[in-house]
Structure 1
Amino acid sequence: MNVNVQSHPEGCVLEVKAQPGARKAELRGLQAGMLKVCVTEVAEKGKANKAIVNFLRKTWKLRGSQIEILSGETNSQKKLLIRNVSPEELVQLLVDCGIEND
């Protein structure tokens, strides 16, 4: 899978391409090595960022404290820290969600 996932002392770091204001919240595959995450909330006052974290947390059945935005809070390209999940486990979560392994 050509997704940008780096190891981190607390878990792993995932690169995400955010698309706020979409019709529905969904994972829309990989784009340039980043996971494309669509949310219905607009990109103002952190609403879309919160929606992305909540959507991924629910999708992957993680606790709220396990996902944190490390960088890109005001950018569509973000780096998320996923705590207590190895890069290999994260890739498996993506496969389980139907993200194609290319």
Structure 2
Amino acid sequence: MSDWLRVAPDGRITLTLHIQPGAKRTEFVGLHGDALKIRLAAPPVDGRANEALLKFVSEALGLPKSSVSLKSGHSARRKVLELAGTTAEAVVRCAHAE
């Protein structure tokens, strides 16, 4: 798999992301070093960008919001998300479809 995507033995998926808040629109961009870059239209104020990120990823993958959690990077551009209920192939397909 890619450096930005890891699958644990229990099936949970961990994503390493580089976030660009305050963009014109929310979208997957591609790779940024060893992370997947996502542009977010939400500003990095009062946790709005984090909320928008969780909503965007859950909707893009067709997952309930409760299946997507922010593990680290609450106030940083580099974030780690954990996903449940999907496959690595679905994540890769979704990230490259945008």
TM over 0.5: yes
Aligned to 1:77: 78
- For residue 5 of structure 1, what is the amino acid of its counterpart? L
1:34 paired residue number? 35
Q: CA RMSD in A?
A: 1.8
Aligned-pair CA distance for 1:25: 0.7
1:3-22 matches, cutoff 5 A = 3-8=3-8, 9=10, 11-22=12-23
* Counterpart-to-counterpart distance in 2, 1:94 and 1:20: 17
CA contact (8 A) 1:3 1:30 kept: no
Matched residue SS, 1:23 = coil
Within 2, Cα distance between the matches of 1:89 and 1:11?
A: 13
Name structure 1 gaps, 5 residues minimum.
Answer: none
> Structure 2 stretches of 5 or more lacking a match?
none
Identity %: 25
What is the TM-score of this pair, normalised by structure 1? 0.83
**In structure 2, what is the equivalent of residue 90 of structure 1?**
91
Question: Would the aligned equivalents of 1:67 and 1:80 in 2 still touch at CA under 8 Å?
Answer: yes
Structure 2 length-normalised TM: 0.86
Amino acid in the other structure paired with 1:12? I
- Give the SS at the match of 2:36: strand
Aligned 8 A contact 2:6 2:13 in 1: yes
* Runs of 4+ more than 6 Å apart: none
